[in-house]
Structure 1
């Protein structure tokens, strides 16, 4: 499985080691050395996976995750010398897919990357069927949404939210269940629901498609 991988690591020797092992496994790799460059490069190239050092100058790895998770579901593997449970849990809470502590064996990192890419591939295959709910059509394979035949431009996180709801129309999803789609907090879920309603509702203040089930969560009808 050949993937385009972005590596963000401020230690040149460590970065070169990771790059060499990933390329040997058949991937194309781009390396940057600080958090700001990681954000810019991720937005420019839309990589299949990001290997991200936590402790980098200017913008650290956790802040990179926070920024990218606002509009991207790219798989992220964190590299860090911090091995305390709270640090690990924070990384996962922010939306990281895996957490590798230093020092690490490069072949184990490559194996974890391979596993995450397989998982992401299976998820894309599972979600490939076109979903129809009323006059909303969601095409996960083409990453397209139409409303009454007209295209709707969604951010990656809005698309992910709508796809989850459209896969099981009329089912009520709790905010906790929607957090599994890459959102970092329940408040983030609410914010994306508001943004999505602005794009699929005639009157977002009186939604008729994306409904709130008070005290529980949301459903698409």
Structure 2
């Protein structure tokens, strides 16, 4: 069964262009022209990935992402014509996994779709079924995270980043190492992805500085989790 992608775009020409190329790449494609329709189609089809334009009628792409993240960790790639770093960062902070700016090369878009889907379906090598760090429990076999006896909902990228840090307690992992291992070699200089993802982890898992499990910033170098 082919992977399913929901394309949310109000420009008909761009929508048809994206759809044709995704279908040619063997994906099943659903189309939405506004944010309200996007939410309805997501609930109906439960796609494996969403391509989300930011400038949409009825409900903006950012509002749509915020609503989807209340109940789903489906991978989301932002498509924006603005090229505005503020909009992009806001989208990533809301839980988007990647972005691409119009006008874009269709081969780059397909490559990003493949990369995000690969990250979302990647498996973690399991030696021990659970990693325990203070009040943080990471269940590797069923991809669940518990903190202070409460379940924490993470996107696949957030989960993989948390596991990488937890497997290397008290070790400084450089920006380049984390970006290449979690996002891929093509993202090795995209430090804002890492910065935003770390910020989301700290918000979802509010461990105090100095406690076990806290993700410590090593300025200009990288991050480490305290053990």
TM-score, normalised to structure 2's length?
0.60
Matches of 2:198 and 2:169, distance apart in 1:
23
Compute the displacement of 1:183 (Å).
4.1
Larger Rg: 1
Structure 1 residues 185 and 128: alpha-carbon distance in aligned structure 2, compared to 1, 3 A threshold: closer
Compute the displacement of 1:146 (Å).
6.8
Contact conserved, 1:7 with 1:29, CA < 8 A, in 2?
yes
1:132 aligns with 2:144: no
Compute the displacement of 1:208 (Å).
6.5
Contact conserved, 1:77 with 1:100, CA < 8 A, in 2?
no
Query: What are the ranges of 5 or more consecutive residues in structure 2 without an aligned counterpart?
Result: 179-190
Compute the displacement of 1:114 (Å).
2.8
Residues 13-55 of structure 1: CA deviation (Å, up to 9, x unaligned): 4323322321221112222221233345446655332111121
Query: Which residue of structure 2 aligns with residue 201 of structure 1?
Result: none
Q: Pick one of 191, 210, 217 that aligns with 2:203.
A: 191
Matches of 1:107 and 1:162, distance apart in 2:
30
1:91 aligns with 2:91: no
Matches of 1:45 and 1:169, distance apart in 2:
40
Matches of 1:185 and 1:168, distance apart in 2:
16
Q: Per the alignment, in what secondary structure is the counterpart of residue 79 of structure 2?
A: strand
Query: Which residue of structure 1 aligns with residue 5 of structure 2?
Result: 5
What is the root-mean-square deviation of aligned Cα atoms in Å? 4.4
Residues 169-202 of structure 1: CA deviation (Å, up to 9, x unaligned): 345789xx8974584684x5543123xx6xxxxx
Structure 1 residues 38 and 115: alpha-carbon distance in aligned structure 2, compared to 1, 3 A threshold: same
Contact conserved, 2:166 with 2:213, CA < 8 A, in 1?
no
Query: Which residue of structure 1 aligns with residue 186 of structure 2?
Result: none
Matches of 2:152 and 2:216, distance apart in 1:
23
Matches of 1:36 and 1:182, distance apart in 2:
30
